[in-house]
Structure 1
Amino acid sequence: MLNKFKEWYRQNINDRKEQRINEALEFKNRIVEISGMKYFLGKGSMTDLPDIVKVDQAAYGSKVKWGPKRFKSGLKNQNDRFYLILRHADELVGFICIVISRKKSCCHIENLAIMPGFQKRGLGYFLVTTIIERAREMDLRRVVFTCRKSNDRSQSLVRDLGFVLVEEEPNYYDDGEAAVNYQLHLDQRNYLAASNFGR
C-alpha cells in the first residue's frame, strides 16, 4: 500500500511539474520597458529566423556559434527549446535561446545575442533574468550558461547574477576556441540588482 502511494505521489509531482513547464513555454508576447525604452518581448518563431541570424552575425561576426540550419531546427522544436526575442520599432535587436532538460531539471542558455547598437543598455541582463524567473516557474533546479572563453562581457553579466564557473570545454567551437559553462542553482533566491541594467 505504501509503495502504491509513493508511486502515485511521484507521478502526481511529475505531472504537475510537466504542466508548469508547458505553461511557461506558452509565453505571452508583451511590451516591456528596459532602461527607459519600450521593446516588444515575444516568443521566437520561424518567421523570425532571418532576423535572428542577422543579429547573431552582427553580434559575433566571424565567431558566430551557429548557422541558419541550427537556428531553424531550434525554432521548429518547441517541445524543449525556447527563443525569446526583443524588437524595437519592428527591428529585432536581441534574442536568447534556451533548452530545457526535464531529466536533469535544468534550463540551458545556449545563445544570447544583442545588436551592437543596442549593447550596454541592459537587454542581455533583462533576457537572462527573464529566463531565470521562467526557470523558477518551471520548478527547475538550475540554469546553465555557455559562451566563448573570450566573451568577457557575457561572463561578467552572469557572474553578477550569481552564476558560478563550473567547467571549461576545450576546442568547443569550430575555430578551436574553448567554451566556458556557468551554473546558477535556483534553490536559493538571487535578488537581481537593477543597477546592473546598464550592462
Structure 2
Amino acid sequence: MLRRFKQYFQKITKAHSQRRQKIMTIDQHIVTVGPTNYYVSRALITDVPEMLAIEKAVYAGKTPWDENAFKTELRRQSGRFYIVMRHNDRLCAFCGCAFDDRRQDAHITNIAVHPDFQNQGLGRFMMQAMIKRAAYLAYRTVTLEVRYSNVAAQRLYTNIGFEKAGIKKRYYFGDHEDAIDMTYHLPVATSDD
C-alpha cells in the first residue's frame, strides 16, 4: 500500500513539475495586440535597464523597484515568471508574476507599460497571459496590489474580473501611499481537466 502511494505521489509530482516547467517558458514570438505586432519573450537580466527606464517614465522619474530587486527576481530558478514586450526593438511593457504552489496563488509582482504604448491593450494582454498560466496550474487566485491613486489601473483590473479585497495602509515605499489588494478568482478545476 505504501509503495503504491509513493508511486502515485511521484506520478502527480512529476506531472505538476512538467506543467509548472511549461508555464515558466514562453516561445519568443510575435503577437498582435490591436493593430500592432509585438515581440514577446521571457525577461532577461539584460532587459533590466530598459525595465527601469519604463518605471521612470511611468512613475514620474522614480523607480519603485531598483536594479537589484529586478535582477534578484529574474535570477530565481522557480516560482517567478517575467515577460517583456517589444515593438521595433524597443521595450514597451513588462509584467512579472510569483507562482505559489502552496497557496495556489499567482501574484502579479510588477506590471508597467511605457506611456507611449498605454491604452493599446498591452496591460490587458500581459495580465491575461498570467491568468492563463495560473489556470493551467489549477490555481485558485491571481492577486496584486495597486496604488490607491492609480484609478486607470484599477479600472483595467476590474474590467478583467479582479475584485477589491482590502487596503494595505502606507504600503508603498517612499511616499507611503495606500495599496488596494485585488483578487481574481479562477474557476475551480474539475476532475476532467
TM-score (norm 2): 0.90
The percent identity for this pair of structures is 31
Once the two structures are superposed, residues 120-173 of structure 1 have per-residue CA deviations (whole angstroms, 9 ceiling, x without a partner) of: 111101110111112122222211122111111111111111111112111111
* Partner Cα distance (2:58, 2:113) in 1: 6
Whole-angstrom CA distance in 2 between matches of 1:11 and 1:94: 39
Q: Work out whether 1:183 is the aligned partner of 2:177.
A: no
Deviation of residue 23 (structure 1)?
1.3
Taking the aligned partners of 1:167 and 1:64, their CA distance within structure 2 comes to 25
Is contact 2:105-2:141 (8 Å) kept?
A: yes
Q: Which residue of 2 aligns with 1:194?
A: none
In the other structure, the counterpart of 2:116 is: 117
Residue in structure 1 matched with residue 58 of structure 2 by the alignment: 59
In structure 2, the gaps of 5 or more residues are none
CA distance in structure 2 between the aligned counterparts of 1:178 and 1:56, rounded to whole angstroms? 19
Higher deviation after alignment, 7-16 or 129-138: 7-16
Instruction: Give the residue type in structure 2 aligned to 1:171.
Output: R
Between the aligned partners of 2:98 and 2:3, the Cα distance in structure 1 is 33
Mapping for residues 1-199 of structure 1, pairs under 5 Å? 1=1, 5=4, 8-62=7-61, 64-174=63-173, 175-187=175-187
Q: CA deviation at 1:8?
A: 4.7
1:75-94 Cα shifts (integer Å, max 9, x gaps): 11131111110000000000
Residues 39-71 of structure 1: CA deviation (Å, up to 9, x unaligned): 001100111111111111111125532111111
- Name the SS for the 2:21 alignment partner: helix
Give every structure 1 segment of 4 or more consecutive aligned residues whose post-TM-superposition deviation is greater than 3 Å: 3-12
**Contact 2:52–2:63 (CA under 8 A) maintained in structure 1:** no
Tell me the distance in 2 between the aligned counterparts of 1:68 and 1:57. Answer: 12
Q: State the AA in 2 paired with 1:177.
A: E
Whichever residue aligns with residue 78 of structure 2, its letter is N
Count of aligned positions? 188
Aligned partner letter, 1:14: T
- SS of equivalent residue, structure 1 residue 92: strand
Give, in whole Å, the separation in 2 of the partners of 1:109 and 1:30: 22
Please tell me the residue identity of whatever aligns with 2:69: R
CA RMSD of aligned residues (A): 1.8
**SS of corresponding position for 1:146:** strand
Instruction: Give the residue type in structure 1 aligned to 2:182.
Output: Y
Letter in 2 for 1:53: L
Deviates most, 54-63 or 163-172: 54-63
| Uncovered stretches (5+) of structure 1, i.e. residues with no partner | 190-199
What displacement does 1:181 show? 1.3
